[in-house]
Amino acid sequence: MEGMDRNELIQKKGADEIAPLLDAKDVATILKSSVKTVHKRVREGKLACVQITAKDRRFTIEQVQTFIEAQSTRTPIDKKVANPISSSPKKGGEINGSRIEKAKDSWASLKEEMSTWT
């Protein structure tokens, strides 16, 4: 392939062998996002591109595929059962009838003590 210019190379390889370049609108359609988001991902360095001019970018299918694979997360299939969380007892002490009995006893003892004040 030495000494071949670009046009001869394209003719020899054939147009089918050269990967087509996508514009930002095409990539946005593939990713189901906006063109603005595509450009944002390029600025963040998450999506690679072919910089044509200062304002014009093109993307290869491989670059888009690499971005999709990088953003994909694995979902664990064998999810472990979470241990139940034990909570502290409710305020106010025990729930059974002994709490009521204790309240009656303390009220009676308070009345008894108050009667000695006079």
pLDDT digits (tens, 9 = 90+) for 20-56: 899 999 999 999 999 999 999 999 999 999 999 988 9
Rounded to an integer, what distance in angstroms lies between the CA atom of residue 9 and that of residue 2?
10
CB-based contact 58:50 (threshold 8 Å): yes
Asked if residue 61 lies in contact with residue 51, where contact means CB atoms within 8 angstroms, the answer is no
CATH of domain 19-71: 1.10.1660.10
Q: Give yes or no for a contact between 92 and 99, defined as CB atoms under 8 angstroms apart.
A: yes
DSSP-H helix ranges across the chain: 6-13, 24-31, 35-43, 61-71, 98-115
pTM of the model: 0.50
pLDDT of residue 3: 53
pLDDT score, position 1: 45
